Amino acid sequence: MVKALYDYTPNPTHRNLLPLSAGDKVIILDRNGEEHGWVKAYNGTKIGYVPIGFVSALEESQDSS
């Protein structure tokens, strides 16, 4: 699980991209594409790609909150 560091609002025509709000927690499903700056994530309702630079791994103590 990772936490969004910044807001990310993709162009609505790019339906495979997942919007983020700073503080959102998402689950990384697939890191293929990470070398190009993108990872596949799930926010609890939708699956899509997010920019890897916009998320950061949660510390162990933050996972349960």
Mean pLDDT of 3-30: 97
* Letter string b/e over residues 17-43, b meaning 16 or more CB atoms within 10 A of that residue's CB: bbebeeebbbebeeeeeeeeebbbbeb
SS3 call for 54: helix
How much of the chain exceeds pLDDT 70, in percent? 91
pTM for the whole structure: 0.85
Q: Would you state the pLDDT for residue 59?
A: 75
Q: Write the CATH number for 44.
A: 2.30.30.40
Residue 65 lies in a domain: no
Give how many domains the chain has, as a whole number.
Answer: 1
Compute the radius of gyration of the chain from its Cα atoms. 11
What range does the domain containing 10 cover? 2-59
Residue 15 lies in a domain: yes
Q: Would you state the pLDDT for residue 65?
A: 52
Q: Would you state the pLDDT for residue 64?
A: 52
Each residue's pLDDT tens digit, 24-55:
999 999 999 899 999 999 999 999 999 999 99
Spatial neighbors of 25 by CB under 8 A, at least 6 apart, are 1, 2, 3, 4, 58
Residue 64 lies in a domain: no
